[in-house]
């Protein structure tokens, strides 16, 4: 029997039991609470990934299950600014593993950890890898939005800020997305450009093309918590960004939905 719902929290336990037979892809959105300049609320990463995953799953309700957002993530380098709630890296990974363990125990086999916070990325990837190590009968991947070639094209099509540094944090992109989601909460009169991090050909900060990773304390890289130019943000850009990210996520859903889960082969 097909369950006519896609939001996990809206289901009863008998519906969750029944829907596992449909072999849907479970989408687990993950964000964090942290400073996003003087103009954006601290839930920016949570709001954006929630909106992206909701849009995607709403378009494919019979192929997906959408979990509530994991609100808190890894942000210790932001603690010089008031607001961030940071979870220890190992606790964060174990928390995600407890979620995937629970889902697999209920019969789900295909899981996407859809992350909306940059510093969660390596840890979310480890959680996805460890899920498969612990449960070879299931598959799990991590996802970060607008990182595919198609996603990059969509972002480049609306981008006006310079490279590098124009799109990184509380920037043109994130501010535009928030304007499309909840414009009344954005204080555009307080939005200010900040690209004051030390210039380097090797260590720089932007959505794309960072050749190496070194993340110092945020207060050493920005004066106001922003990295980029939020003054260029518009709701129209935000709508395009959210639509492109949802379409990109659906590509990942399709890949996971049709992927064969092959049994391990012990060659000892």
The DSSP symbol for 85 reads: B
Residues 6+ apart with CB under 8 A from 221: 196, 197, 198, 205, 227
The Cα-based distances of 30 to 5, 115, 189, 263 in angstroms read 21, 5, 29, 29
Alpha-helical regions (H) of 171-234: 172-181
Q: Quick check: helix, strand or coil at residue 33? A: strand
pTM score, two decimals? 0.96
Q: What is the residue range of 205's domain?
A: 8-258
Contact between 216 and 77 under an 8 Å Cβ cutoff? The reply is yes
Whether 138 is covered by a domain: the verdict is: yes
pLDDT at 214: 86
Please tell me the distance from the alpha carbon of residue 194 to that of residue 255, in angstroms, as a whole number. 38
pLDDT at 268 over 80: yes
Contacts of 58-63 with CB under 8 Å at 24 or more apart are 58/6, 59/246, 59/250, 60/6, 60/250, 60/253, 61/4, 61/5, 61/6, 62/2, 62/6, 62/22, 62/24, 63/24, 63/25, 63/253, 63/257
Residues 6+ apart with CB under 8 A from 268: none
pLDDT at 204: 85
Segment 11-33 mean pLDDT: 97
Please identify which residue in the block is written with the tokens 């190992």. Answer: 90
Interval 192-237: pLDDT, tens: 999 999 988 888 888 876 666 788 999 999 999 999 999 999 999 9
Please identify which residue in the block is written with the tokens 């989408």. Answer: 27
Whether 1 is covered by a domain: the verdict is: no
pLDDT at 201: 83
Please tell me the distance from the alpha carbon of residue 40 to that of residue 110, in angstroms, as a whole number. 34
Interval 59-101: pLDDT, tens: 999 999 999 999 999 999 999 999 999 999 999 999 999 999 9
pLDDT at 1: 58
pLDDT at 199: 87
pLDDT at 202: 85
Total tally of structural domains belonging to the chain? 1
- Residue 25 forms beta bridges with which residues? 64, 110
pLDDT at 58: 97
Cα–Cα nearest to 71, from 111, 117, 112: 117
Whether 105 is covered by a domain: the verdict is: yes
Interval 34-56: pLDDT, tens: 999 999 999 999 999 999 999 99
Please tell me the distance from the alpha carbon of residue 124 to that of residue 87, in angstroms, as a whole number. 13
Residue 99 maps to which CATH number?
3.40.50.10310
Q: Quick check: helix, strand or coil at residue 167? A: strand
Beta 25-30 vs 64-66: how paired, if at all? parallel
Interval 104-144: pLDDT, tens: 999 999 999 999 999 999 999 999 999 999 999 999 999 99
The Cα-based distances of 207 to 23, 124, 128, 251 in angstroms read 34, 18, 22, 20
Whether 55 is covered by a domain: the verdict is: yes
Interval 146-177: pLDDT, tens: 999 999 999 999 999 999 889 999 999 999 99
């Amino acid at each position: 029997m097909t369950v006519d719902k896609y939001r996990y929290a809206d289901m009863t336990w008998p519906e969750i039991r029944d829907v596992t037979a449909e072999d849907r892809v479970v989408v687990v959105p993950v964000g964090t609470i942290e400073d996003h300049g003087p103009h954006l609320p601290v839930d920016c990463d949570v709001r954006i990934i929630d909106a992206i995953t909701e849009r995607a799953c709403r378009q494919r309700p019979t192929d997906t299950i959408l979990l509530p957002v994991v609100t808190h993530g890894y942000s210790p380098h932001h603690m010089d600014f008031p607001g961030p709630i940071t979870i220890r890296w190992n606790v964060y990974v174990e928390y995600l593993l407890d979620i995937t363990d629970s889902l697999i125990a209920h019969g789900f086999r295909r899981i996407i950890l859809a992350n909306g916070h940059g510093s969660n990325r390596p840890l979310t990837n480890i959680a996805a890898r460890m899920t498969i190590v612990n449960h070879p009968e299931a598959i799990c991947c991590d996802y970060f939005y607008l990182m595919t070639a198609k996603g990059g094209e969509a972002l480049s099509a609306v981008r006006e800020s310079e490279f590098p540094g124009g799109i990184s944090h509380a920037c043109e992109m994130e501010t535009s997305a928030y304007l499309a989601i909840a414009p009344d909460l954005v204080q555009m009169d307080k939005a200010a450009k900040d690209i004051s991090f030390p210039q380097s050909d090797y260590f720089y900060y932007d959505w794309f093309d960072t050749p190496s990773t070194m993340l110092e304390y945020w207060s050493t890289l920005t004066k106001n918590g922003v990295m980029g130019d939020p003054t260029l943000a518009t709701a129209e850009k935000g709508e395009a960004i959210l639509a492109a990210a949802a379409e990109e996520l659906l590509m990942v859903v399709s890949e996971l939905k049709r992927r064969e889960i092959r049994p391990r082969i012990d060659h000892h």
